[in-house]
Structures are given as C-alpha cells and as structure tokens.
Amino acid sequence: PTCAIFQRHLLKARSAMPRLDPKDFMFSKQKGLTLMKSPGQVNGQQFIIEDLDDCEVVVADHTCQVTVDVCNRSKMFIGPCDGSVFLRDCEDCEFTVACRQFRTRNLVRCKINLYVVTDPIIEMSKDLVFRPFNGAYDGLQAHMRAAGLVDGAGKPQPNKWEN
C-alpha cells in the first residue's frame, strides 16, 4: 500500500508541473534578427542555437547545456552554463561564454570571450581569437552561482582560459 500511495502522489506532482515546450529553448533558422532570452526564461534548461545568419543572440539566464551549430556572422552572449557549451560549424562569429566545459569543432574566424572552469577542447578550428570573459547583465552573479561557477560568497572558480 505504501508504494501505491507514493505513486499516486508522484503522478499528482507530475501533473501539477508545467509542460515545457522545446521550442521555447531554441533559436533556429533565423536571419538578421536580435534574439533574446531574459533572466528566468531558460532557468537551467538546455538551449539550442542553430542555423543563424547575421543575428545577435543574448541568453541572459543560466543553462545546463548549450549547443550552437551552423551559425555565420553572428554575435552571441551565452549566460552561465553549469555543463557544456558546444560550438560547431560556425564562421565569422563572436561568442561571449561562461561555462563549466567548453568545446569547439570546425570554427573559422571566430572571436571568443571565455570563462571556463575546465580545460577547453578545441578541435579542427582555425583563425580563432580568445579573450577573457567580458559579459555583464543584472542577475549575472546569481546565475553564475546557480551554474556552480562561483561559490556561495561569489568567489569565481579559476578561469582555465585567461589569455
């Protein structure tokens, strides 16, 4: 009987949870637009950015993972990520990223402003420029804490890409 009671409570709790729409956690197939997620709109979920040309992207919230695929001539700010940020098959872009793990593959002529707490992994990319993270927005410190990139006192973990 205890198991049946637990299952009923679990089903009731799940039905009370709001359903998430995957389309709310992606920017896809856009040209020449400014695309933005404000604090609280992503709230630790995975985020996908794909097939963008000449766009400006701001994800001003914390995430658990971000993938960026096939983007050109775009500028992106990706708020704190407690997992991995993957950048793949992008050209002539600028990225500002704070994350636990950073990976690239097939980037060409990109600028990356980076804060990462593990050693970055750079594969088959060329003409990259790395600079220290330079991002700011209201709530960034709280999101850095939520992503585990700073401790409870706000002290950041060492940046593995300082130069």
Q: How many CB atoms lie within 10 A of CB 20?
A: 10
> What is this structure's pTM?
0.87
How many Å from the N-terminal Cα to the C-terminal Cα in the chain?
61
How confident is the model at residue 97, as a pLDDT? 98
Total residues belonging to the chain: 163
Tokens of 11: 């089903």
The candidate with the shortest Cα–Cα distance to 60, out of 41, 86, 73, is 41
Between these two residues, 20 and 25, which has the higher pLDDT value? Answer: 25
Average pLDDT over residues 121-125: 96
36-95 pLDDT, tens digit per residue, is 999 999 999 999 999 999 999 999 999 999 999 999 999 999 999 999 999 999 999 999
Residue 10 confidence (pLDDT) above 60: no
Residue 160 confidence (pLDDT) above 70: yes
How confident is the model at residue 153, as a pLDDT? 80
